């Protein structure tokens, strides 16, 4: 299962993570976000221990969304060693999402 990322745990869970992190910037009112939500959760389970998966609700964490320049959702980002190494805007297939992080795990 994916974890909720907030301003309070962003540094420890994302920037200081020993494993790569897939972040999903989303909102409960976003149709495409709802479409990929189950896929994100499935990836979290399948890659447990090798990839950390977090969701950032932009309505509840607008400072994090602003900090990342989020202008459309869903936006997916991959962090490794505290740096953004990949990013994709819009809904994507499981295959395309996995391609974002496979080279980093």
Q: Which residues are catalytic?
A: 30, 33
Angle between the 94-101 and 31-46 helix axes, to the nearest 10 degrees?
60
User: 59: which residues sit within 8 A by CB, 6+ positions away?
Assistant: 27, 28
Helix (H) or strand (E) holding 93: none
CB burial of residue 37 (10 Å; 0-12, 13-18, 19+): middle
Separation of alpha carbons 100 and 49, rounded Å: 17
């Amino acid at each position: 299962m994916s974890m909720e990322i907030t301003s309070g745990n962003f540094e420890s869970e994302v920037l200081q993570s020993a494993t790569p992190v897939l972040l999903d910037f989303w909102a409960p009112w976003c149709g495409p976000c709802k479409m990929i939500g189950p896929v994100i959760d499935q990836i979290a389970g399948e890659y447990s221990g090798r990839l950390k998966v977090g969701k950032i609700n932009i309505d509840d964490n607008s400072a994090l969304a602003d900090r990342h320049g989020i202008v459309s959702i869903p936006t997916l980002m991959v962090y490794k060693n505290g740096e953004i190494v990949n990013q994709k805007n819009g809904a994507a297939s499981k295959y395309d999402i996995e391609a974002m992080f496979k080279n980093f795990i």
